[in-house]
Amino acid sequence: MSKIRFQALIEASNRKPIEVIENTKRSVLFGENVFNENTMRQYLTNDAFKGVMSAMELGTKIDRKIADQVSSSMKEWAMSKGVTHYTHWFQPLTGGTAEKHDAFFETIGNGMAIEKFGGDQLVQQEPDASSFPNGGIRNTFEARGYTAWDPTSPAFIYGTTLSIPTIFVSYTGEALDYKTPLLRALTAIDEASTAVCKYFDKNVKRVSASLGWEQEYFLIDKALANSRPDITLTGRTLLGHSPAKGQQLDDHYFGSIPSRALNYMRDLETECMLLGIPVKTRHNEVAPNQFELAPIYEECNLAVDHNSLLMDVMGKVASRHQLKVLLHEKPFAGVNGSGKHNNWSLTTDTGVNLLGPGKTPMSNLQFLTFFINTIKAVYDNEELIRAVVASANNDHRLGANEAPPAIISVFIGEQLTKVLEELEGVTNGKLSPEEKTDLKLNVVGKIPDVLLDNTDRNRTSPFAFTGNKFEFRAVGSFANCANPMTVLNTVVAKQLKDFKTEVDILIESQGLKKDEAIFNVLREYIKATKNILFEGNGYGEAWEKEAKKRGLSNNKTTPEALKARISKKSIAIFEEMNVMSIVETEARYEIEVEEYTKRIQIESRVLGDIAGNHVVPTAVRYQNLLIENVKGLKEIFGKDFEKQAAEQIKLIKGISNHIKAIHLKVDEMISARKIANVIEDAEEKAASYCEDVKPFFDEIRYHCDKLELMVDDELWPLTKYRELLFTR
């Protein structure tokens, strides 16, 4: 056995769970390290408190004087907790989070120093950000970028650093991060939803989107994970034969959580509590060593920040427990990958969940309005919605019979399907009094009872209505939720805006009553969007055929899927809703296309290396042992040896064949890479990596995995699947 594999196994099997002793009640820890409303009341002057609250709730601007007061109070609070540094915390388009720590400490001459943190430093910074992806924006415009305080997401302390959530934009105002377009999309959905709510309740002043994510991940012993160059460099295994036992017994899902994992989770949850991330649920997932963590849902911007922060903290806490968190969408072939369901809804400032059926017919008509408009938005933009979850990693899940297919459809359940069928029969134009009464009592009025026993959830749907929210299930585990949330909120906002226009026209030009007009418009939407509704098995082949007939897109690879990001229609929607300019949309497209190329390029190099300097040399060594053995047999048995050595000779030949195939395929892959590398156009290059380079991965893997089965386990250098997945 290779030294690395041997040592890693010894290390992993000798580990004891690290005890976590935490007796404090969770509710006491919650938000302890957050500059939240409670803390602000204690530390801020009345004026400053009002200023920040109004910025948080109404989006008003904070003036300089107030910013000075806030920064000085933040510093005081942070220093009382041993904090020495501050950072603007942002989410560049790399997918991770970025921070650059500065000390409060400043010299003031004469060998003296003070701790300083002024309004200037709180409100705006100019990080040297030339190395962040910008899709050409920073070349076209000013070279500099700046970060600006987002007061709607509270500052927090992690370690000894005060972190201030910020947006990151170019000097000319173009977004260079995930948060900026998200905030704009949240404004758009607020405005469009509030306008529609006014049909039902004049008191509604604001609508906010909510997000409850469910984070799936793998937890692997650190030494074992580090012993695999592919995991270290790409986040996934590029080869490895399936273990004799995988997930077929379903004995992991919801099973008792192994104690090392449980101690890690407890530790992580404590950190989350301190950071104000309201984590609530933890359980084993389907694959061995796969788990899930979910919080109570929050306002969308905050929930997105919390998920980004969580992904960072998960890695840090895991390291303390000698574990490694794999957030990759498909770390292991043959067992389930990881996703991140995005549960989404809309809530008014009067406390009504617009996607939750209400108690009266009118509130139910409001529910149906938002419900049907969401379906329409998804239908009209299904390709864009598919595009926003596309990534090299997620390509392994979508459409691979374990996660939602690459086809976007909406599941609403049997009961609501019936309600829509009834609404479809509503008379054109004015409604008779009898029809109105019937609708109110028997269709719209019945919804709450109906939903209570609606338990038929379809797990194969990428976009499912689950009682009081939609659940977007195609999002990948590694993704920043801002991306899908920006798109979803934007397309629904656009749809609601159009809906309002259509209803108003019917009221004004045809003299329809408000509810008549709403019924009329909804009826047409129901008729127009039937093709997106699907209740059957989304994993089945039959659905692919059916979806094709219905004209739904089925873009299986990222380069193909991403194109919808820059379709005329998408560009127009983002512009109309003031979420992204054409420059910003195109820049993002370019970044995503390039990221795809880079990921496949790295995987291809790593695979070539491992095959060439781990697998083949090991196979040769084993083959030499066999040759020695055959020579020995010949010595003993003379001409009779062939009968005795038949199996060995077969093995020797088999190994040679696999080695030959690996060399051939690796060489071909390198040639394909060379051709792809000189393609100038980013889109064509990504397509070439996808179509000409990536197909070699499976072929090379096939031969390597065969060798894994043939070669003496003692010699095999790479930690095996059974060791990675079942060591606890």
Give the interface with Mg ion as residue ranges (CB under 5 A): 214, 341
Per-residue DSSP letters for 556-615?
A: -SHHHHHGGGGSHHHHHHHHHTTS--HHHHHHHHHHHHHHHHHHHHHHHHHHHHHIIIII
Residue at 279: amino acid letter? V
Strand, coil or helix: what is 56?
helix
Alpha-carbon distances, residue 725 vs 174, 326, 432 (angstroms): 44, 12, 65
Span near ligand ADP by CB under 6 A; candidates 57-65, 294-302, 332-340, 501-509: 294-302
Shortest distance, position 475 Cβ to Mg ion, whole Å: 11
Interaction between residue 125 and ligand ADP (CB under 6 A): no
In this structure, what token pair is assigned to residue 589? 């497209």
Spatial distance between the Cα atoms of 553 and 567, rounded to a whole number of angstroms: 14
Shortest distance, position 157 Cβ to ligand ADP, whole Å: 25
Residue at 363: amino acid letter? S
Interaction between residue 306 and ligand ADP (CB under 6 A): no
Alpha-carbon distances, residue 156 vs 179, 274, 467, 614 (angstroms): 17, 9, 34, 45
| Closest CB to ligand ADP among residues 296, 452 | 296
Interaction between residue 290 and ligand ADP (CB under 6 A): no
Residue 290 bridge partners (DSSP)? 218
Alpha-carbon distances, residue 348 vs 198, 354, 368, 719 (angstroms): 11, 7, 15, 52
HSE-up (13 A, CA, CB side) for residue 463: 24
Q: Which does 228 bind (CB under 5 to 8 A by kind): Mg ion, ligand ADP, none?
A: none
| Closest CB to ligand ADP among residues 77, 371 | 371
Spatial distance between the Cα atoms of 168 and 125, rounded to a whole number of angstroms: 9
| Closest CB to ligand ADP among residues 341, 599 | 341
Interaction between residue 212 and ligand ADP (CB under 6 A): yes
Tokens 């690290």 -> residue? 18
Q: Which does 170 bind (CB under 5 to 8 A by kind): Mg ion, ligand ADP, none?
A: none
| Closest CB to ligand ADP among residues 179, 469 | 469
Interaction between residue 427 and ligand ADP (CB under 6 A): no
Q: Which does 497 bind (CB under 5 to 8 A by kind): ligand ADP, Mg ion, none?
A: none
Interaction between residue 297 and ligand ADP (CB under 6 A): yes
Q: Which does 182 bind (CB under 5 to 8 A by kind): ligand ADP, Mg ion, none?
A: none
Strand, coil or helix: what is 550?
coil
Beta carbons of 179 and 304 less than 8 angstroms apart: yes
Beta carbons of 9 and 723 less than 8 angstroms apart: yes
Q: Which does 210 bind (CB under 5 to 8 A by kind): ligand ADP, Mg ion, none?
A: ligand ADP
Shortest distance, position 542 Cβ to ligand ADP, whole Å: 25
Strand, coil or helix: what is 681?
coil
Identified binder of ligand ADP from the candidate list 73, 91, 210, 490, rule CB under 6 A: 210
What does residue 281 show for φ and ψ, rounded to 5 degrees?
A: -115, 140
Binders in 461-490 for ligand ADP, by CB under 6 A = 466, 468-469
- Site residue total, ligand ADP (CB under 6 A): 16
Identified binder of ligand ADP from the candidate list 10, 143, 296, 602, rule CB under 6 A: 296
Span near ligand ADP by CB under 6 A; candidates 23-31, 127-135, 288-296, 606-614: 288-296
Span near ligand ADP by CB under 6 A; candidates 340-348, 418-426, 632-640, 684-692: 340-348
Closest CA to 686 of 586, 599, 571, 609: 599
Span near ligand ADP by CB under 6 A; candidates 82-90, 295-303, 359-367, 684-692: 295-303
Q: Which does 468 bind (CB under 5 to 8 A by kind): Mg ion, ligand ADP, none?
A: ligand ADP
Residue spans of beta strands (DSSP E) within 349-432 = 410-411
Interaction between residue 458 and ligand ADP (CB under 6 A): no
Interaction between residue 353 and ligand ADP (CB under 6 A): yes
Q: Where are the alpha helices (DSSP H) in 179-299?
A: 179-197, 222-226, 229-234, 259-274
Question: What letter would DSSP give residue 467?
Answer: S
Shortest distance, position 91 Cβ to ligand ADP, whole Å: 20
Span near ligand ADP by CB under 6 A; candidates 162-170, 208-216, 372-380, 550-558: 208-216
| Closest CB to Mg ion among residues 214, 329 | 214
Beta carbons of 614 and 720 less than 8 angstroms apart: no
Interaction between residue 554 and ligand ADP (CB under 6 A): no
Interaction between residue 358 and ligand ADP (CB under 6 A): no
Shortest distance, position 210 Cβ to ligand ADP, whole Å: 4
Residue spans of beta strands (DSSP E) within 423-498 = 463-465, 470-472
What does residue 283 show for φ and ψ, rounded to 5 degrees?
A: -160, 165
The binding site for ligand ADP (CB under 6 A) comprises: 210-212, 214, 294-297, 341, 343-345, 353, 466, 468-469
